[in-house]
Structure 1
Amino acid sequence: MRKGERTRQHIIEKSAGLFNQKGYAGSSIQDIIEVTGLTKGGVYRTFSSKDEIAQEAFDYSLRIVMEQFLKAAEEAETAIDKIMAVCAVYEDPVNHSPIEGGCPLLNTAVEADDGYLPLREKAAAAHGQFTAFLQSILDKGITNGELSSGLNTEAVASFVVSSLEGGVMASRLTRDNKHVGFVFQQIKLVLSTYQNGATFR
């Protein structure tokens, strides 16, 4: 990797944690300079604006999280176990998250809802990607005979994403992981109602 590419990646990685903790609006170019250890000129030789950095930092954060979701799912056997393993990536949102500062999808969606449109569009696309990933797991579970064909996989995948994000938010807000734990219990309860037979219990 060339020096310019290394600098670009360094800015993206450091800014990802910064934006996830302080938010897009709450982070300034000076903050980026401080976390990267670069000069203002060094930052602007690589990126044209804070907006450009924010978009690439979000892509980086999302990629890190999705890699962990994929790894968790691959290591589980049944469809339900895969869904629960994906959720478990955020089993300790108070003390540990894939990206410092919590869930980048949640943080960005809340902040960019009525603000910065490009980030809102990226967050919306990420939400769709996450939902589709979970839906594909559930669809395969139906195909394999693990889950009932009466399962609305799109609806349940949406429910899992919404519940998980809400649980992460509540746990980080109260500094208590019990909320995300409650979410896990209810997600597993819902999924268990669609199991076919005792083999997959």
Structure 2
Amino acid sequence: MKREKGKLTRKSIVEKSLRLFSEKGYYNTSMQDIVQATGLTKGGIYGQFKSKEEIWHAAYDEAVNIWRSKVFKGTREISNPIDRIGKLTENILKNYIGAKVFKKGAFFVPMLFEFSGHSVNMTDKISKGFEGFSNLLYRWLKEAADAGLLKEGLNLKEIANFIFISLNGATSLFVATKNPNIWQHTIRQLEFYVNQLKRG
């Protein structure tokens, strides 16, 4: 019973802290903010986490779970890897960024900007996640190439990176402006671009 209560307390801290970090940023969120958001004492929080940084790492993992639940929805049922990439990019731009799952429109890109030059440890964690996503795009493109779905002679690694950069560029602009044209236009242009890669 005590262990179950501890899990619920930890879950509450992570969820409330994730909301604070996504709205205010990491450095503008104080332990007192977390105390007020959770209704716990500092002792109750430190009984679950050693530091604010440790809370952030747990919040990051929760943000990844939320991101995955949104962006991979409906992709596993698609056998054609090109169509799968199309669904993935639509999910990211429309159902994650456009739907404002996080108040600013995104979590990872704003965090990367905030930590750049300040925390190598946290920057590396986000960068490795980005690298893993770019590698996934590459694997799906290679799957398409191996199936004879793409034109010959394409640099798949560069294409994967270009799609990844386009998605993050759209994310950054949308976070800054909240203009829905950004993600809407990016969906259409990425769809057009990917269609140009197909074997005629």
TM-score (norm 2): 0.88
Aligned to 1:161: 164
State the 1:94 CA deviation.
6.7
Query: Distance between the aligned counterparts of 1:20 and 1:75, measured in 2?
Result: 31
Check 1:101–1:156 CA distance in 2 against 1; reply closer, same or farther (3 A cut).
same
Q: Which residue of 2 aligns with 1:35?
A: 37
Corresponding residue number in structure 1 for 2:73: 71
Q: Distance in 1 between matches of 2:26 and 2:101?
A: 19
What are the superposed Cα offsets for residues 20-70 of structure 1, whole Å, 9 maximum, x if unpaired? 121111111111112222221111111011011011111210222123323
Q: Secondary structure at the match of 1:96?
A: coil
User: Which of residues 125, 129, 135 is equivalent to 1:126?
Assistant: 129
- Whether 1:80 aligns to 2:85 is no
Distance in 2 separating the partners of 1:109 and 1:42:
29
Instruction: State how many pairs are aligned.
Output: 197
Aligned to 2:182: 179
Query: What are the residue-to-residue correspondences of 1:3-152 with 2, within 5 Å?
Result: 3-89=5-91, 90-91=93-94, 96-152=99-155
Contact 1:171–1:179 (Cα < 8 Å) also in 2:
yes
Deviation digits for residues 66-102 of structure 1 (CA, Å, limit 9, x no counterpart): 2332324224443232222112222166762344432
Does the residue aligned with 1:74 lie in a helix, a strand or coil? coil
**Cα distance change of structure 1 residues 24 and 139 upon mapping to structure 2, 3 Å threshold:** same
Note the alpha carbon deviations across 1:106-162, whole angstroms, 9 max, x for none: 111111111122210111111111111111211111122222242222211111111
106-115 vs 149-158, which moves further: 149-158
Q: Which moved more, 1:163-172 or 1:89-98?
A: 89-98
Q: Where does structure 1 lack aligned partners over 5 or more consecutive residues?
A: none
Assess if the C-alpha contact under 8 Å between 1:73 and 1:82 holds in 2.
Answer: yes
Gaps of at least 5 residues in structure 2 are none
CA RMSD after TM alignment: 2.0
Shift of 1:190: 1.9
Match of residue 192, structure 1, among 173, 188, 195: 195
Q: State the AA in 2 paired with 1:110.
A: F
